[in-house]
Structure 1
Amino acid sequence: MKTYKIVTIGGGSSYTPELIEGFIKRYAELPVRELWLVDIEEGKEKLNIITKLAERMVKKAGIPMKIYSTLNRREALKDADFVTTQFRVGGLHARSLDESIPLSHGLIGQETNGAGGMFKALRTIPVIFDILKDCKELCPNAFVVNFTNPAGLVTEAVLNHTSWERFIGVCNLPYGMEVGVSKILEAEKSRVRVHMAGLNHMVFGLDVFLDGVSVKRDVLEKMATESESLNMKNIMDLPWSPEFLRGLDAIPCAYHRYYFQKDQMLSHMLEDFKTGETRASQVMAVEEDLFKKYQDEDLADKPKELELRGGAFYSDAAVNLISSIANDKRDIQVVNTRNKGAIASLPFDSAVEVSSIITKDGPVPLATGLLPAAAEGIVQQLKSFERLTVKAALSGKYEDAYVAMVTNPLVQSEHLGRKVLDDLLLAHEKHLPAFKETIDTLRNRP
């Protein structure tokens, strides 16, 4: 039976035990002979902690999976079968800036949406491109499975501005939605499938199947009348009105609250911000506790507290995808991939998040046609924003970044957009080399 070499870029992440657990649980169908954990110098201490925990987990499981760790990415990538990416350029400090600077101007501050999400993309896209250059040389046949946010925007950049085709964005949100719908239906998840389409963090559940029979209306009615919620740990759980759910005629994802309940979400975020609290500050506290637990030499399992980090179901989403490619399962999963006409109103080459058949050659997106009328506009606007953001990431031009910023539905203000853009450019200077001239000009303004 074929065995696999897998490389994880960002191996010192607190999410990595999720991934290790996933590989252990599925070892019989996906025998990983080598798992390489890669990080950078700033993450060396965390990488060492995670590596020792991974070794304890593998030893307890009694499987012959060898764990390697290195700060030398090229050493790790040689002849890899799969490469996973799960890093954050600038760390949690950068996330804090992404959240707090927009909030200081009265705009939603969120790590993958709005102004904050845009700057996470501007920092991330060049690093992803560098990784792919190494992959092209050292493991040209590998699949790159990207969990790094904003996953959809990063996928858009790679598919349309590099020659690398074996790139798939994955998110735990769609998997979590299916788990939540299964609970609403009081059924095993294996019996339930939610057909989804849209963009990453702007995906809609267009239909729900229980044992192959559509039960979407039943799910929506339960969500409307019983206040059933499909939410995530990192997003405030505001209820949807019954009228909205019935009118939408689709299952919203947790991130839709930032767009369809914008005023309420912003109000709550501003209240927290006044006390010095953001989601980043909460995550920093969770991370500190997690890494203390990870250092316990008696710990050989993923701690339950990791669910507080917002990464629940990560291993299921990521490892299910890898196993389905390796075994040519041809099952249906929700991934970020090239549209290829699946969503009729979006360009053929655009990256979309859509239910796809997973084959040994990658995802084949399922034809969806047009999205619901309530989804079409916001999805097209966000796709325009994504394309503009990629253009800015590649050009480093102020005007490109400015137009992208103002186009975002959570900004939509030329005046505030300029203020937030300027502040974020200056704050993230270290991680925006493409914008050096732009930032120098900003700093030297009278």
Structure 2
Amino acid sequence: MNARRFTAGLLACLTLFGLSACGGDSEQAAETAQVEEQGTAVETQTVERTDLANENMVSGQVIADSAVSIVPTIAGTVQSLPVKAGDTVKAGQLLFQIDTSQITSSYASLQESYNATQQLTNEAIQNAQKALPIAQSAVTTAQTNYDNTLTLFNVGAASQVELDQARMQLDQANNQLEQARSAVSQARASQKAQLAQIESSLNQIRTQAAAGTVTAPCDGLITAVNIVEGGMAAQSGPAVVIAEGGRTRISVQVSESLLGQLKVGDSAQVTVSAVSDEPFTATIATIAPAANAQTALYEVRLYTPADVTYPIGAFADVTFYTNRRPDAVTVPSDAILTDGAEQYVFVVENDTAKKVTVQTGVVGDGVTEITGGLTGGETLVTKGQSYLSDGAAVRVVSGEDTP
């Protein structure tokens, strides 16, 4: 009796469990059917046509457009240095002063030597000049004597010997006059040579002393100061560097492959974070005709806005745009799916997913050019496309409802 009751109870439980299980499967099947009937949730956007280009980002640096290096012409201790890097200077403004006291220490003694030499040589000239009137008087006397003797000789009152003797005396007097004149000339030449030698030494000291005062050769912005007050200024390198006119450029090094896609006048986006995180548009000013022998890279320089001061040496991020595609069909790169070599997207037509094989071109910032398969205006699936198959029902939802 008890065995029969146990068996009956067990059968009842199994029956109830089976009915419950069957009911659950039916509900799940109904829900699945409902989802399939409504379609897979996706997000979409309209395929647009827009300008597109490859973005090539390189790092660069702010440089002086025209750098003027100030190299001292004399070595010595820096006596004063009233400028620093970053200062704006005018042409003729003092940059630094080199101590020239050792150079000028001999100037006074040389000047005394000059004065003494001038006095001595003046006396020598004066002494030589004293002989001139005496010699000139002797010539006059000898000339008169010769003329008188010649007159007498012509009338037979003087002999040939007397005439020859008078002529010899005249020649001797003329020779003595020439010697006196030559002595004066030699005294003057000697004075000139001696004074010129001393004057040369004085001028050299003046030049070196003047070289100790170094001024700006042009208006501009000081980009580097390589000396310190109290330290030594050498002739081996620039003490100060000036960006002439304060003009700056952006300098970048690019590869040969990128160089072939650039030309003077092309625009680029530049960010100098030391000044601002906002980029500005710059144009290419120059392109180096030859690569750097060590890096095999080419220098490209870009103009900077004239109304902003960029610190020399600051780093810059430069983005060049190449392979420009005006009015290109573009889609988000994430919307493109691949199957081996095939690339495809899904578009929505009448709440149905349609698989479209596409050909791609330029890849930009998060977008890709479509060169075949789409023409623009299609409703493109941008989220949920991985769950789709060709012909599947879809329903367009907002982002939070997308699987």
> Structure 1 length as normaliser, TM-score?
0.16
Higher strand share: 2
- Structure number with the bigger relative contact order (C-alpha 8 A, sep ≥ 6) is 2
Structure 2-normalised TM-score?
Answer: 0.18
Higher helix share: 1
If you compute each CA radius of gyration, which structure gives the higher value, 1 or 2? 2
